[in-house]
Amino acid sequence: MCISEKLTSPAGNDNIKYVKYNIKYVKYNGYLKAGGMGYHGSMTHPVAQPGYKPVSESMFYMWRCVICMIHADGLVHEREVEVFDRLIAALGQAYILTPEHLETFRADMAPPQDIEKFLPQVTDPECQSLLIFFSQILASADGNVDFEEAELVGRLNGVFGGQLETAETIAAIRKDITARREAQGEAGDGRPEIYYAIGVLMRRLGVEMPD
């Protein structure tokens, strides 16, 4: 299935190339139930499902900030959307994702949103720490970290990294990523630490993903 298709840039934004966010998990009908995703109710009244956890306000805005990183260099690369798709699809195996959650993520893909409006909503130190790492993953997903992407990662570090609990969580995550890479030994094939980060980050959310 085609992940995305290019759209014409809105007037006044000719320097930005948008893609249509048309990914399978945004289809809201029986497919999601068949896929085992915790998809019921609404954001304000989610329907509890055995084994599924609610998406907190901090987590919801964390993912919205991650989408802002996808926009940081003025392009929405297909590889970045694929990575985000993979993360949210995996999240849906453990969390209650409502139609509003998914529609908001889709809408945030174009046009780009102002991350400054979202950052104050990410109040949980765990989500603050995960945001910094997920943003680095998305920034490098297309194989190139542009100046604007590096600048935004630095902005996130500046906002959250100085807080004691968040800084301690960041240090613990880095330690786990290094341990995961070293545990692979020669099988790692010299891949960068960020390759192993996805599994570590998702495990902290209670979601198992292979390397």
Structural domains in the chain plus CATH codes: 18-204 (1.10.3680)
Residue of higher predicted confidence among 200 and 139: 200
pTM of the shown model: 0.73
pLDDT more than 70, % of the chain? 68
Q: Is the pLDDT of residue 75 over 50?
A: yes
SS (H, E, C) the chain: CCCCCEECCCCCCCCCEEECCCCHHHCCCHHHHHCCCECCECCCCECCCCCCEECCHHHHHHHHHHHHHHHCCCECCHHHHHHHHHHHHHHCCCEECCHHHHHHHHHHCCCCCCHHHHHHHCCCHHHHHHHHHHHHHHHHCCCCCCHHHHHHHHHHHHHHCCCHHHHHHHHHHHHHHHHHHHHHHHHHCCCCHHHHHHHHHHHHCCCCCCC
Among 2-11, 132-141, 156-165, 184-193, name the one with the lowest average pLDDT: 2-11
Give the model's pLDDT for residue 151.
81
Give the model's pLDDT for residue 107.
92
Mean pLDDT to the nearest integer, 85-105? 92
Q: Is the pLDDT of residue 119 over 90?
A: yes
* Sign of the alpha-carbon torsion through 160, 164, 167, 168: negative
Q: Of 16, 110, 6, 102, which Cα lies nearest the Cα of 63? A: 102
Give the model's pLDDT for residue 62.
96
- Paired with 19 in beta bridges are 6
Among 23-27, 75-79, 90-94, 105-109, name the one with the lowest average pLDDT: 23-27
Among 17-31, 111-125, 187-201, name the one with the lowest average pLDDT: 17-31
- Highest mean pLDDT: which of 62-66, 73-77, 198-202? 62-66
Q: Is the pLDDT of residue 49 over 50?
A: yes
Q: Of 178, 184, 132, 182, which Cα lies nearest the Cα of 159? A: 132
Q: Of 107, 103, 104, 89, which Cα lies nearest the Cα of 38? A: 89
Q: Using 50, 70 and 90 to split pLDDT, how confident is the model at 61?
A: very high
Mean pLDDT to the nearest integer, 196-205? 90
